Structure 1
C-alpha cells in the first residue's frame, strides 16, 4: 500500500517502516532506544525520524523532567489525538478540505459516488475523505472510494511482490498511518481494517463511522 512518491516516500525505506512500527507500538521512544531496537546508528535513526516528522507520521516532544539533567527528545506516532497530533497532518487536512469544497462548488456532480450524494456522510466525514484521498493520491495511488460501503480500494497492492517478506508489518504500519490521517482531519470515520483476500495484490480498506 505504499507508493514511491509524495508523503509515502518517507517510508519507502524499510528501516523507516521499522522505526515507525516501533513508535506505533510504544510511544515516547528515544533515539537511543530506537537505535538499540533496530541495530541502526543513532545518527541514522535521527535522520529517519526527521524524515518521518516532516511527513507528518511522527511527532516529537521534549521530556518533562522533575530532576536535574538535560531533557530527552521523545518520539511518538502521529495519531491525531491531543498528545500525538501532527501539525503537518492538520495543515494537509485543512488544505484537502478547501480543495474538496471548491471542487464540489465548481463541479457539483463530483459529489456523487456509488449513486449516493457525498453530502449524506456529513461535512466532517466528507472532509475526512478529502484528506485520505488527497494523502493517497499525492503518494502515487489512484484510490477508489465507495462512500456507501465506506471502502477504499487501493488494488493492485504494489507490495504484493515488493518487500513481500515484510508485508504484514507494512500493512499494519500503513493502516495506522491512514487512521492518523482520518483522526487528524477530525470526524466520525475510522479505519476498521483490511478486507481478507487470497490474492495479495488485492487491497481494500474498510472504514467505519462512529
Structure 2
C-alpha cells in the first residue's frame, strides 16, 4: 500500500462499514472520481487488504462489485512469544517474573470479587475465573478431600506456547490464580500449585490448605484431626491419589511445578 493516503482512507472506511461498499459508494464518500477509486481498490485487492465479490444489481443492469476489508486478527500467540523471549534465559528468573506478572494481572481484575470462606469457595472461584478465561476447567471430585482439591484445565488459549515456555505461560496463570484467591480471603490459608501437561492436553491446578489448617471461618473443632495434638502441620493424605496423574507428566514440567511450589513463600 506504500504511503498512499487515498488507499489508507479507503481501507479505513471499509473497516468501519457494516456492509460491503462498491466503487460508486466509496467515490461519493471520499469525493474522488470513481475511476480513481477503482484503481486504489485494485491495488488493495492485490495486497490482500480488501476482498471483492459480486453483489446484486440495483434495478436493471450488471451485478455490482462490492468490497470489504479483510479482518486481520491480533497475533496474541506471536505477541506472547516475543514477551516470553524478553524475560531472559534463566528459568528461575523467568518463572519469578511470570508469577509476578500474573499477580499484577489478577490485581486489576475487578470482576472476580467473590469472598472465600472455605476450600469449596476457593474451588468455585477458581473454576469461575478459569472458565471466563477459556480454560474449560473441571473439578476432579475423585481426588478431593477436606484439605485438597484438583481442578482439571482441559483447554488453554496459549497451549502451544506453553509447550515451549511453560515456566512463563504457566507462571502467569499461577500468579493470576494466587492473586485472585488471596484478594478474596485465602492468603496464608490456601495455596495453589499448577501441574502443566500431566497429559498432552491437560494441566491440573491443585488447591490445598496450608499446613492442613482450615481458614478461620471453617476451622474444625477436632484438635486431633487438625494436627494440634502432635504440633505438626498436616496436609491431606491424598498423595497416592494424585501420583498416577503426575507420573505421565514430563519430568521437566514436574520440576517446573516444583519451582512454583518453592516460590509460594516468596510470592505471599
TM-score (normalizing by structure 1): 0.43
Larger Rg: 2
- Structure with more contact order per residue of length (Cα contacts < 8 Å, sep ≥ 6): 1
